[in-house]
Chains A and B, each alone.
Chain A
């Protein structure tokens, strides 16, 4: 096969985005967006044969860039396929979700979504550090613009800027790492990381820089606070960007460079620690909120924590498998939540309840997704989560395994609570709603099918089944799931310990620290503005002061 086909997953969505910019009728815009997304899904399937034959697309790009290299392997093909297929389903879902939007906003929406899908594929396909950074920032930019999509919602703008700033702060780690590699090895290909020119100190800087970047991108502790605020985005965006694809970029980075950094002292421990803390933090966030999307956001933080722990424990294959499964079931949950939110016009679970009867299909698919999230047998989440736990048992310290198991219980608890509050109970002072429209149904059913069938993708499924079923930790985990769900069923302990949990959330969630640093920046900015008095005399006094200070510095510095 011609290696040029490797560029299809990037080019198809980008060309589609350009075409959409020139359109005016909303129906045509929807149509072109769906067509492009589906075409892209088909084009991306070509990556499977391409990666099997180790195709390489080389583009000479001048002296500064060197050679742009795109080389798909199984990992990048997997992530690119997730981006393309979940992207296509999110776009199909959007046709109903964004119904009635004016054409200017719709162009902006689909343009950014398609730009994102292409950028995400580029991020995982490239074999060039600087290009990786470029795609890394491009998807952050799309995410920022889409979080801030709703024009009349100031919280959306604030959430967008927060997400951008936090991921950018993490991005500095990546930038510094690339600087160090490019500066010493003089080459931006991934091979440069293995260069012998990298001293151990420099390599450590690169490794931990990449770790910081990955943690910020994947909303891991202590950078996790942007993800719940990003829930102001339209729900298909949350499903696509903030559950299935972009947040996985950090995990991708860790998976990709694990072999390079595994020998760095403390690197894998750090990875596992971040993962475990995030598992618990995310679970608490999900437990303590009444906002349906924030529950899912907390759950995403928590599940990504499992991925980080798995990579840290050296279970790369398990992490890859869970990444795929999580993308599917979390995408399904977000889209299902989107259907409910679209019908009820609220995200507050306190105003939901009893949706089960009115939207049976949404309920059924959401339930499948929830069970997969919890890790109930034969659904995809079960297999991958058990694999991760097993890896933790054999490669990680005991307390990490314990914390991961505790996370399993918390997951069961908040999931039970969420499903009960949304779908059971009585409809509380709200207008009756109807089943989701066709486009939403297509997306939901497809994803629900994926939840059941995705384990079949595994080449060594039989081995996995026997391995999981024979491991003692599986039984333990199932017991803990029952315990968590049981606590949810009894309802009592949450209300008892809510105050304690909230305190824990504040203390560990760095919420106060976050707020303090933001306030400190704002205060110093305001305070400094006070220094600009606008009085000429004081301006001149500053000049004289600077002169005096400089003369003292010269006197001291010159004497040295």
Chain B
């Protein structure tokens, strides 16, 4: 054990930093730690991807998918750290310290999840991720609605983790090891098939597969806006990536996981969109739309699992990035719009929004139209990549799924378009411009510009998504 790779420090630092941020009661501590994380991340990028670190039985390694998750987690974490300075201005100092510490733990868990190479580690980091997410959802725990959402989130999530542990135990029984690489060479057996089933349900619960999604709209709409952005933007998707990694290890099992994933994706699409269609609460609508957007990723990953062509996974990873940016942007902008509101933000509250907060209105409308898939916004580009991989040389039913997904994109415009309209049709003539603090406008501006840039130059993310897609694609080569 000569040199400890940089990513180990990357995982360790947030957990050292969280108590530090909590007890030092200084806001700059969290930014110092995030800055240090960025430096270490940069150093890690300079090293070859294949570095591994072994502590006893535990083997950690950062591959392309992990890098993508880590980069996204750090980006969103930084922006939300900045955002929360203004968002939590009226909260007590203790509450803010708690928020910061939990934010660090959440980032740390995401970083760790990206480095896990065995089944148990995947479970453990996912559990840690959920744990910090529970506490963050409970941030406004004195409000009954937030309390209710947390209770549901915790209970369902624990049922999920118990079920996935049965899958872990079954795998251990059959293979005698939990290393993903070892599992993938174990061949096919009924026990592993059953294990896969339990793991799909257990981890799928955290990735909000329909009908296991019921906790999501409650939790995501009740959390503080910055936290909602993180939860919708990356926490759910990280669970999805974890699920795919372990399914990749089970690729040898004689069952068409790809078809299952695509089926789940279709279910997510139609359910998420139909549920979002009639919502008047903005954050709840955005939460349901996350359910639908996960559907696109599922379809993309499913295409890869079906054919071994990494293009689908690459598109899905790109969609993960654009969705994290756009949905994060939407939640943050909705949070700006909701400042001073005790009840949930509804569509009617958005009237005259363009006058009150021009930047937030612009951000929210670009975000929703992008999520609705209007070209050349980033959301279209990523869907396009998924569609391309699903169309060329796929069996007929996958092509039909692509058409179905495109139709769902139109369906989603039915609820997205009125949001953009409400902001710019100035029904509220009394609205006047409200000055926004820099810590609101800065994250909004950064995410807005990056998402616009990604729409016009989708090639920017190609190395990142290509590498991540290749990692998952290599597992499925028939």
Binding site for B on A (CB under 8 A): 62-64, 104-105, 108, 133-134, 137-138, 141, 144-145, 148-152, 157, 160-161, 164-165, 168-169, 171-172, 175-176, 179-180, 182-184, 521-522, 524-526, 528-529, 532, 534, 536, 539-540, 542-543, 545-547, 550-551, 553-554, 557-558
Contacts and interface: CB of A to CB of B under 8 A. Distances in A.
Contacts of B193: 554, 558
B417 A164 contact: yes
- Which 7 pairs of residues, A with B, have the shortest CB-CB distance? A183-B392, A539-B214, A151-B425, A525-B277, A168-B410, A542-B211, A525-B274
Contacts of B201: 543, 546-547, 550
Interface in B4-19: none
B426 interface: yes
24 contacts: A62-B457, A63-B462, A108-B424, A137-B374, A161-B414, A161-B417, A165-B410, A169-B410, A172-B406, A184-B392, A521-B277, A522-B277, A528-B275, A534-B148, A539-B214, A539-B215, A542-B212, A543-B156, A543-B211, A546-B201, A546-B212, A547-B198, A551-B194, A554-B197
Given A63-B462, A180-B391, A172 B426 contact: no
B256 interface: yes
Contacts of B111: none
Contact of B200 (A172, A526, A529, A550): A550
Contacts of B427: 151-152
Nearest to A153: B425
Contacts of A171: 410
A521 B274 CA distance: 8
Instruction: From A157, A550, A551, name the one whose CB has the most chain B CB atoms within 10 angstroms.
Output: A550
Nearest to B151: A536
Contact of A179 (B256, B274, B374, B391): B391
Nearest to A63: B459
B421 interface: yes
A528 B271 contact: yes
Given A137-B375, A176-B406, A550-B200, A545 B211 contact: yes
B388 interface: yes
A165 B425 contact: no
A157 B418 contact: yes
B214 A532 contact: yes
Interface string B367-403: 0010000111000010000011001110000000011
Given A169-B407, A522-B278, A554-B197, A543 B424 contact: no
Given A63-B459, A539-B215, A160 B407 contact: no
Given A175-B406, A532-B275, A546-B201, 17 more contacts: A64-B459, A104-B354, A138-B375, A151-B427, A157-B418, A168-B410, A169-B407, A522-B278, A525-B275, A528-B274, A532-B214, A539-B214, A542-B211, A543-B156, A543-B201, A546-B212, A558-B190
A528 B213 CA distance: 13
Given A172-B407, A179-B391, A540-B156, A532 B424 contact: no
A559 to B, nearest CB: 9
B159 interface: yes
A148 B425 contact: yes
A179 B421 contact: no
Contacts of A168: 409-410, 413
Nearest to B188: A558
B277 A182 contact: no
B218 interface: yes
A151 B387 CA distance: 37
Nearest to B374: A137
Given A172-B403, A532-B275, A543-B212, A134 B376 contact: yes
B286 interface: no
B156 A539 contact: yes
B173 interface: no
Contacts of A105: 426
Nearest to B426: A151
A529 B278 CA distance: 8
B223 to A, nearest CB: 17
| Interface residues on chain B, size class | 35 or more
Contacts of A150: 425
Nearest to A135: B375
Contacts of B355: 104
Contacts of A164: 413, 417
B163 interface: yes
Contacts of B457: 62, 64
Contacts of B159: 540, 543
A545 B211 CA distance: 9
Nearest to A150: B425
Contacts of B255: 554, 557-558
A322 B253 CA distance: 63
A138 B402 CA distance: 22
Nearest to A209: B403
B215 to A, nearest CB: 7
Given A141-B374, A151-B425, A528-B271, A175 B387 contact: yes
Nearest to B279: A529
A172 B373 CA distance: 11
Contacts of A180: 391
Nearest to B390: A179
A141 B391 contact: no
A448 to B, nearest CB: 34
Interface string B286-325: 0000000000000000000000000000000000000000
B388 A557 contact: no
Contacts of A534: 148, 218
A479 B197 CA distance: 75
A543 B205 contact: yes
Nearest to B209: A546
B385 to A, nearest CB: 9
Nearest to B273: A525
A63 B218 CA distance: 42
Interface in B135-175: 148, 151-152, 155-156, 159-160, 163
A165 B374 contact: no
Interface in B251-269: 253-256, 260
A57 to B, nearest CB: 18
B467 to A, nearest CB: 16
B217 interface: yes
A144 B426 CA distance: 16
Given A529-B278, A543-B159, A550-B201, A165 B217 contact: no
B196 interface: yes
B71 interface: no
B61 interface: no
A104 B427 CA distance: 12
The listed residue with most B CB atoms (<10 A of its CB), out of A108, A138, A149, A539, is A539
A379 to B, nearest CB: 40
B458 interface: yes
A118 B255 CA distance: 52
Contact of A536 (B155, B254, B406): B155
Given A539-B214, A543-B160, A553 B155 contact: no
Interface in B202-229: 205, 209, 211-212, 214-215, 217-218
Given A133-B375, A160-B417, A547-B163, A183 B425 contact: no
Contact of A161 (B260, B278, B388, B418): B418
Nearest to A547: B201
Contacts of A62: 457, 459
Nearest to B354: A104
A152 B426 CA distance: 8
B197 A551 contact: yes
A180 to B, nearest CB: 7
A121 B271 CA distance: 39
Contact of A183 (B156, B278, B391): B391
Contacts of B215: 539
Contacts of B211: 542-543, 545-546
A179 B142 CA distance: 51
A399 B264 CA distance: 49
A522 B193 CA distance: 39
